[in-house]
Amino acid sequence: MKRRHLILGGLATTGALLVGWGAMPARSRLGSAQEFLAQADEVALNGWIKVLNDGQIVLAMHRSEMGQGIHTALSMLVAEELEVPLSRIRLEQAGHDAIYGNVAMFVASLPFHPQTSQDAQPPLAVRAGEWMVGKIARELGINATGGSSSVADAWVMLREAAATAKASLLMAAAAQWKLPVAELLVHEGVVSHASGVSAHYGELAKAAAGQTPPQVQLKKPQEWRLIGQPALRADIPGKTFASAVFGIDVRLPGMVYASVVQSPFLGGTLEKFDAQQALTMPQVLKVVALQSMAGSTAGFAVVAKTTWHAKQAAQSVQATWAQRAKGALNSDHIAQQLQEKLDTESGFAFYTLGDAQAAERQAKRVVKARYTAPYLAHATMEPMNCTAQVKDGHVEVWAPTQVPGLVLAAAAKAAGVAQDRVKVHVTLLGGGFGRRLEVDVVIQAVKVAMACEGVPVQLIWSREEDMTHDFYRPMHAAQLQAAIDDKGEVQSLRIKSAGDAITPSWMARTLPALSGPIDMPDKTTAEGLFDLPYGFAHQHMSHVATQMGVPIGFWRSVGHSHNAFFSESFMDELAHETQTDPLAFRENLLIHAPRYAAVLKLAAQKAGWGKPLPAGRAQGLALHESFGSIVAQVAEVSMQQGQPVVHRVVCAIDCGTVVNPNTVEQQVQSAIVFALSAALFGNIDIEEGRVKQTNFPQYRMVQMAQAPHVQTWIVPSDRAPSGVGEPAVPPLAPALANALFALTGQRHRALPLLKEVSVVSN
């Protein structure tokens, strides 16, 4: 951390980054009408907004809908500033111009401690780093849905686009009617004047396109009519009545289907295969060899007239597979290596305060604990798939993706064509969780389509292929230790973690031109450890980056998903060691972090912390910040037939300004059930290079009968919106583990909490 401050601070003070800091406005992301192509009955007013002849509004939708309700939330921002009913907003997929890139997600990747990055006037190094990364992100324009950043990124930009469009429409009306703009009123998309003259937006759009609006003022919170109010999600009717189109729903004239078989060994290769029998089977068209992203032959696809015929034929292919050149991977061996790394390496220090080692030398006693978390699969309900057509030098792709721009680039490279010859259609996603930040299945689909001579091909992975060829959440381990003085007070906290870094691996796969060293410090390894809000006088947080060979990727809440388990479980250990109530212990350390304390107190109050519980039940709590949002959870647990039952989870969240409270509550519920499955069962075992868990019978999920009752409490805030889709995942595992300790006296330091269980219904 100090090294980065030195580098950024030096660049800033020499003027390399901040020439004319105060006079340099951020590059506008409003765009121009030319970036949002209009049809005959449409008029584009900027890069985001078009107006139809009948007054309906078309919004360029630049983010992927994967169940998080983002299509509705972003539409609400536009409808609010344009003063139109939400029902009059239509969506059209955005293009690939830089204005549609995700700036907030990349700025949030900077490893700044919250005590500095949230100051009223952050240090120069923080401001310099955010300015630099923001500028780079705006120039690159990488369109990505991830990091719980969609609303945060669009919060000002989309409202400004809508307000600017509205100003143009008002100016057009004022010019036509020869009236002052200040005297005009807008209600539900109709501009009117007290004299009786009126017109809807569609009647003013052509004249508005020639206006140059002044600097706009966004509506004040007290003027909002939509933002902050519950709204029904726009994607639900289509999903309810089966008109919604996910990736596997794409149907094109003459389309054929491809079933994929890949090496059963992680990193393995295909030595040879015999497809003669498959090619004689009904409806089978051809067999295509597939290369891995590293360039070696790693599998094959069977193309047939139906998915069923393709899959049946694929099972008849005789294949010989080889382990990776470096030898077979084994998760038990990797776990041992991580423990050795903790013993022998110091790692990169992300944050240091005071002198933790000196505090330990002077302590009456030092408390130590080691925690571990396993590899996890994404296990999206919709398996990986992509539809592609390569014809007459052009490529068309239909994909459930979180990164349409990267899909376009990958498809162009795979087909050997220029990017302007590729068109990408983004479908709904049947779950993303970070898995669809990858482009591997797109490359496969394009390669198979090239072999099919102009015929569109839908390539679908089986559940087994999906589960055994994931980019897994990495296995991590951590040692936490604290110094306790002769008064029984904790004086220091030292944390060292070890595990693979996700960002360098992902960059090397998807953005190789921008990728750095594979062992570069990566915030995702230490997030949720180096940036804790607790006021320990002495702190040292470091991470040992490893390269174990297992393919890894972003998983819902990324490093926070396991680091919160490490840190918040250890907070309870320290409370127990100092004979302090877990709530009081945390509150004493949050004196200088009132926002965190408020969230914690709200969750505890609503859960009835400290009050009598039904016989045989106990509570555990956890507090964690991720993606700009603070979440506290209290889990209420009992043991039945020797197995844990989670009856209730009370969750308090401060996620800044809330656009749609319905979505916040839904995402909290989703995150808690998702996290509970991982906490109880989630585990990927690798033996001799093979992933043992191949389908849901081995990779268990919490079923409806075991799902707890979830209560969500939203902390009112006037801050800008922060993340919602992921922040409720991290606190669940430690809250559950802490409740189990309170109930049984057994401390759980390894995930999953249960490996082989028959779960009792709640």
> What tens digit of pLDDT does each residue of 256-289 get?
999 999 999 999 999 999 999 999 999 999 999 9
Nearest to 267 by CA among 504, 468, 519: 468
Tokens of residue 603, six digits: 């969750």
Q: How far apart are CA 734 and CA 672, in angstroms?
A: 12
Whether 759 shows a pLDDT value over 80: the answer reads no
- pLDDT on residue 38: 86
Whether 213 shows a pLDDT value over 90: the answer reads no
Q: How far apart are CA 393 and CA 655, in angstroms?
A: 47
- pLDDT on residue 383: 97
Tokens of residue 421, six digits: 């010859």
User: Largest Cα–Cα distance in the chain?
Assistant: 83
In the structure, what pLDDT confidence band is assigned to residue 606 with cuts at 50, 70 and 90? very high
In the block, residue with structure tokens 């089986």: 462
Over residues 282-305, mean pLDDT: 93
Rg, Å, the chain Cα set: 27
Whether 6 shows a pLDDT value over 50: the answer reads no
Hey, do 31-102+141-240 and 247-325+384-460 end up sharing a CATH topology, with the first three levels equal?
yes
Beta bridge partners of 617: 638
Tokens of residue 613, six digits: 């519980």
Over residues 460-478, mean pLDDT: 98
- Please report, for residues 48, 279, 671, 683, 721, the alpha-carbon distance to residue 60 in angstroms, rounded to integers and kept in the order given: 5, 45, 28, 39, 21
Beta bridge partners of 348: 543
Domain 331-375+472-744 falls under CATH 3.40.640.10: no
Q: Tally the residues of the chain.
A: 762
pLDDT, one tens digit per residue, over 321-342 is 999 999 999 999 999 999 999 9
- Could you count the other beta carbons within 10 Å of the beta carbon of residue 674? 24
Sign of CA pseudo-dihedral 429, 435, 439, 444: negative
Whether 7 shows a pLDDT value over 50: the answer reads no
CA contacts within 13 A on the Cβ side of 249 = 15
Tokens of residue 163, six digits: 């307000």
In the structure, what pLDDT confidence band is assigned to residue 27 with cuts at 50, 70 and 90? low
For the chain, domain boundaries: 31-102+141-240, 247-325+384-460, 331-375+472-744
Find out whether 377 and 555 touch, Cβ atoms under 8 Å. no
752 preceded by cis ω (within 30°)? Answer: yes
Q: How far apart are CA 555 and CA 562, in angstroms?
A: 11
Whether 96 shows a pLDDT value over 60: the answer reads yes
Whether 20 shows a pLDDT value over 50: the answer reads no
Q: How far apart are CA 593 and CA 582, in angstroms?
A: 17
Find out whether 483 and 359 touch, Cβ atoms under 8 Å. yes
The residue that leads in pLDDT, 706 or 1, is 706
Whether 23 shows a pLDDT value over 50: the answer reads no
Over residues 357-370, mean pLDDT: 97
Over residues 360-368, mean pLDDT: 97
Q: How far apart are CA 515 and CA 503, in angstroms?
A: 9
Nearest to 751 by CA among 696, 641, 677: 677
Find out whether 302 and 316 touch, Cβ atoms under 8 Å. no
The residue that leads in pLDDT, 214 or 253, is 253
Buried b (16+ CB within 10 A) or exposed e, 73-84: bbbbbbbbbbbb
SS3 label, residue 396: strand
Q: How far apart are CA 112 and CA 17, in angstroms?
A: 18
Whether 17 shows a pLDDT value over 80: the answer reads no
We find that the CATH architecture of domain 31-102+141-240 is: 2-Layer Sandwich (3.30)
Tokens of residue 292, six digits: 């891995």
Find out whether 513 and 142 touch, Cβ atoms under 8 Å. no
Whether 19 shows a pLDDT value over 50: the answer reads no
Burial of 30 (0-12, 13-18, 19+ CB in 10 A): middle
Over residues 368-374, mean pLDDT: 98
Whether 18 shows a pLDDT value over 50: the answer reads no
pLDDT, one tens digit per residue, over 496-531 is 999 999 999 999 999 988 877 777 899 999 999 999
Whether 2 shows a pLDDT value over 80: the answer reads no
Contacts of 572 (CB under 8 A, 6+ apart): 582, 620, 734, 738, 741
Long-range CB pairs of 581-589, under 8 A, 24+ apart, other chains included? 581/610, 582/620, 582/621, 582/738, 583/609, 583/610, 583/621, 586/534, 586/621, 586/623, 589/534, 589/535, 589/536
Find out whether 484 and 363 touch, Cβ atoms under 8 Å. yes
Q: How far apart are CA 289 and CA 237, in angstroms?
A: 41
Q: How far apart are CA 565 and CA 738, in angstroms?
A: 10
Q: How far apart are CA 114 and CA 116, in angstroms?
A: 5
- pLDDT on residue 756: 43
Nearest to 310 by CA among 529, 461, 442: 461
- pLDDT on residue 10: 39
Q: How far apart are CA 335 and CA 709, in angstroms?
A: 35
Considering the chain, what percentage of its residues have pLDDT values greater than 90? 87
Tokens of residue 480, six digits: 């936490």
Nearest to 399 by CA among 454, 452, 460: 460
3-state secondary structure 341-381: HHHHCCCEEEEEECCHHHHHHCCCEEEEEEEEECEECCCCC
3-state secondary structure 200-267: EHHHHHHHHCCCCCCCCCCCCHHHCCCCCCCCCCCCHHHHHCCCCCEHHHCCCCCCEEEEEEECCCCC
* Four-way CATH pick for 247-325+384-460: 3.40.50.1100, 3.30.365.10, 3.30.2270.10, 3.30.160.40: 3.30.365.10
Whether 76 shows a pLDDT value over 60: the answer reads yes
Nearest to 76 by CA among 207, 225, 293: 225
Tokens of residue 660, six digits: 């749609």
Sort strands 284-291 and 297-304 into parallel, antiparallel or unpaired.
antiparallel
Lowest mean pLDDT across 103-117, 298-312, 669-683: 103-117
Considering the chain, what percentage of its residues have pLDDT values greater than 70? 94
pLDDT, one tens digit per residue, over 422-431 is 999 999 999 9
Whether 603 shows a pLDDT value over 90: the answer reads yes
